[in-house]
Amino acid sequence: MTEMFDVTIIGGGPAGLYSAFYSGLRGMKTKLIESQSKLGGKVLLYPEKMIWDVGGQPPVPGHTFVKQLVVQALTFEPTVCLDTKVEYVEKTADKHFLITTNHGEIHETKSIILAVGGGIIHPKRLDCPGAEKFEGETLHYTVPSLKLFYQKTVVVSGGGNGAIDWAVELLDIAKHVIVVYRQEDFPAHEAQVELLRKRNATILLNSTI
């Protein structure tokens, strides 16, 4: 059995990282458990994409945002467990919690903050026969570096903020950007959609790959 913590945060994305900072600010003995090998959650998927919509923060690329979140989160020196997936939580008779991880360790805590986002991060794969053959070559579910698309024709599938923000960033890098979205209008931020429409992108609505 490990030592007792006041709060254990499950998930090291933006929500978990800020929770770790705030728990420390309130003088709580804090532990953070994250299944990935790095802190940052989904933002690790878009290190070069600009983030426009965080209060008090001028537009900033994902990797800088993660760096800032981590510095803030570690201010009060919480215990951090990386590469550790929480598999099971049970409440004890004295109303504490026992958290079991994939390594078989048990963590004891008086309270839990669930900051798991959409859960363990997996891409939603393209539902096309044979698509997996092109994964990592010409079919990508993350953009680790915009340079990959220099002077290429790039098809972006989707119409939410992630897709439209990427399409806008790619306008200055790629030869041509084509956005394919299944609905008749984009649900993404209007200002970004307008930027996309004003520039030389091809937009295919009511369409799927």
Binding site for ligand FAD (CB under 6 A): 10-16, 33-36, 41-43, 45-46, 49, 51-53, 85-86, 115-121, 161-162, 165
Between 14 and 78, name the residue whose CB sits nearer to ligand FAD: 14
**Residue 71 beta carbon to ligand FAD: minimum distance, rounded to whole angstroms:** 16
Between 7 and 10, name the residue whose CB sits nearer to ligand FAD: 10
Half-sphere exposure of 39 (CA within 13 A, CB side): 27
Between 34 and 80, name the residue whose CB sits nearer to ligand FAD: 34
Supply the DSSP symbol for 56: T
**Residue 86 beta carbon to ligand FAD: minimum distance, rounded to whole angstroms:** 4
Q: Is there a contact between 142 and 123 (Cβ–Cβ < 8 Å)?
A: yes
H helices within the chain, ranges in order?
Answer: 14-25, 62-73, 161-170, 190-198
Through-space distance between the first and last CA atoms of the chain, rounded to whole angstroms: 51
**Residue 62 beta carbon to ligand FAD: minimum distance, rounded to whole angstroms:** 8
Q: Residues, the chain, total?
A: 209
**Calpha distance 73→25 (Å, rounded):** 10
Q: Which of 24, 13, 15 is nearest to 46 (CA)?
A: 13
Axis-axis angle for helices 62-73, 14-25 (nearest 10): 30
In Å, what is the CA distance from 147 to each residue of 115, 151, 165?
A: 32, 9, 16
Between 133 and 147, name the residue whose CB sits nearer to ligand FAD: 147
**Residue 166 beta carbon to ligand FAD: minimum distance, rounded to whole angstroms:** 7
Between 87 and 133, name the residue whose CB sits nearer to ligand FAD: 87
Between 107 and 201, name the residue whose CB sits nearer to ligand FAD: 107
**Residue 129 beta carbon to ligand FAD: minimum distance, rounded to whole angstroms:** 25
